[in-house]
Structure 1
Amino acid sequence: MIKIASFLQFFLLSVTLCSSFFVHSANKLDGVRIWAAPESTRVVFDLNKAPDFSYFTLTGPYRLVVDLKGTSTSVNLSKLANNSKLVKRVRISKPPSKGTLRLVIDLTKPVKSNLFSLPPTAPYGNRLVVDLDDSGSKKVVQTSQPKAKLRDVVVAIDAGHGGDDPGSIGPSGIYEKKVVLEIAKKVEAKINATPGMRAVMTRTGDYFVNLNKRSEIARTSKADLLVSIHADAFTSPQPRGASVWVLSMRRANSEIGRWLEHKEKHSELLGGAGEIIQNTDNEQYLAMTLLDMSMDRSMAISHNIADDVLSNLGRVTKLHKHKPESASFAVLKSPDIPSILVETGFISNHKEERLLSQREHQNNIAKAVHKGVLKYFEANPPVNSLMASKGSFKHNVRKGESLSVIAHKYQVSIASIKRANGLKSNTLRIGQKLVIPRA
């Protein structure tokens, strides 16, 4: 009996130790991804279970140390792709205790850090997200240059999704985030090539920008309009065609609209931020009571621009709906900036997925968006803008022409041409496009 009791004690002790070992090594680090933005970097640790983590910072040199309890890994961090200006490298260090995986993020400078875990959201599993922010370290430098009397019309171009959030994925595996960035950059180029207009991008590379941050970028840039570029998707491959969306203070009344609203919230989960403006009665009441006049004006302008953009899109691609649709998208909710969301086609449709990946079709879509935006602002130029001073013509500078010759030709003053074009000298170059103000 004594031998049996001893054997049982030994067996129970062995089970306890084995259980303890498996508990400590139950989690596994499957991969690490680095997404670099101009003023921030996101490091994502992919795990097969929810992480139990702690962290601290060190100086001389600057480091962020992350401890993952009960975690192991076979990932080779020396081959990690990294284009961040804030992160030198990610490495494994000596653990403080058995069963803990210690990860060290070597930094180039002191930065603000924010760490949080995320539950599985297709196509990703459990994640530990590390956000590193350097935006607070930059100081605004005041210049002594006087402000120009006439300004550009500023258009904020927002390429949807990015970074950890791929957006919709086409049948052949094409990511929405890639397609829309390519189209957005083409729209940007056409806006910047238009005298009296200037484009601002909410993202210029493959990284995620919080939906509310996109409106903040537009506001900081004093944008007259925000255009968000997306590629549609649905649960079945049949739907086709481009569409333009404006803000609705209520839920979308179409099945596809409700699908897109859900997809936007899904994007926030993938991106890792929980600051999306929720579509609640309180939020609607606040917007309608405190910001009623501003919102009504922005929504009216948005509808007009949406009509113009949709009309031009119909000339280059199939339309899903011939009138602007409305839904409650966070990126459209800025009360002081007219905003539209352009769905360039259904990436879930085989034929449109192929079209959306073609440079010529992307360029045609970009042209249509640009023409629609330009048409509105030519008819409704903001006060004190260069476009408000425009006549019905432009002038391309030819060989031998000077400001005095051009001013005499159109019966306007040299000073008015310089002011309309923001010129600081009388020097011109051949091929330069000049806006000729009204006489």
Structure 2
Amino acid sequence: MTVNIRHLATLQPDFDAAFQTVLHWSADTDVEIENRVGAILADVRLRGDDAVLEYTERFDHLQVGSVAALELGAAELKAAFDGLPAEQAEALQAAARRVRGYHERQKQACGLSWQYRDEDGTLLGQKVTAIDRVGIYVPGGKAAYPSSVLMNAIPAHVAGVGEIIMVVPTPRGEKNPLVLAAAHVAGVTRAFTIGGAQAVAALAYGTATIPKVDKITGPGNAYVASAKKHVFGQVGIDMIAGPSEILVLADGSTPPEWVAMDLFSQAEHDELAQSILLCPDADYIAQVQAEIERLLPTMPRADIIRASLEGRGALILTRSMEEACDISNRIAPEHLEVSSNDPHRWEPLLKHAGAIFLGAYTSESLGDYCAGPNHVLPTSGTARFSSPLGVYDFQKRSSLIEVSEAGAQTLGQIASVLAHGEGLQAHAQAAEFRLKSHAKP
């Protein structure tokens, strides 16, 4: 059966309008969801554990006597790891080693304190310290994501975060051993089997059992995204994630079935996910279309993939690879594959993307699980101004200033002039009092 994915060409006179239609996605949360989330947050803030228990029973159909009974102890996490098949345990550890290694290098590159002294002895610098306590949200409804545990907890651990509190929904009490094992491997401090807006509220405000955190990271459904928006300011958050995206820049040198499956790899997430191919070779685009139709019936999530490709997907014929790179920068995709024999020729032209996958052998799925860089990436064009989750998200910077007596004579004059110009006399006099020329009363 034909897959009715859009075919566009940049030579079309109406390309820009059609292109914007493909890209359009509203990040506005449904008003009903906003109202329900607001009520849940207010209730958890007011009633704490009692509200968490009530919502856990209502939404996850999980009845327990106390929130303490929802906590997963370290022994249970280790037991889950010990009980894994050898192949899964080895894969989990290998992925964790690579993710940790990447983020250790990231810390060395950007997470260091520094200082210097001016010629007059004034010390200026930056002090980098870790956040005390963070909460990580791990989805656990329709699917379980041990990779999300690694990608959120490991950079926090590398950054030096004191406590990492994990929340994960377990509908009807069904715990995924791989998720629990990942928490053990990644160094999670405490874990609770709660989810949804109530879990975000508990982390943001704290309850008698669940500690209040300073920042919340991790993806979730519309209720989780809305709750994170609501509590931002009370705590920090990483980002508001939209539907998953992949953009493939292809020069026609990669087997077309590889590219078709890479487009599937994001389309299978959900019906709103987006998969786009940009290529200057019309014959190659036709080959990819043929492979899409051949391979789709073999996929367990074929209905979701079809809906995604037909609703938000596109195969776009460009004039050149240079034009494809320009269009990619306009899209600023979450995942960007450069499927080319010479990817390093095109990489310098690419400015905006969550992660860039270079070469035919670099499938996006390797980045999702085990390459090393973080898979929590900006979506919906926010890669224009946002970055992947990293060590820096779990640290903050304090400026260091120690002005010497000599430095105060120079800086005091400058500050005095500017403060008087702003009409802030106390600011000016605070600087003037430290001037040697200042006449004391």
| TM-score bracket relative to the smaller structure | under 0.3
Structure possessing the higher radius of gyration over alpha carbons: 1
Which one has more relative contact order, counting CA pairs under 8 Å at least 6 apart? 2
TM norm structure 1? 0.23
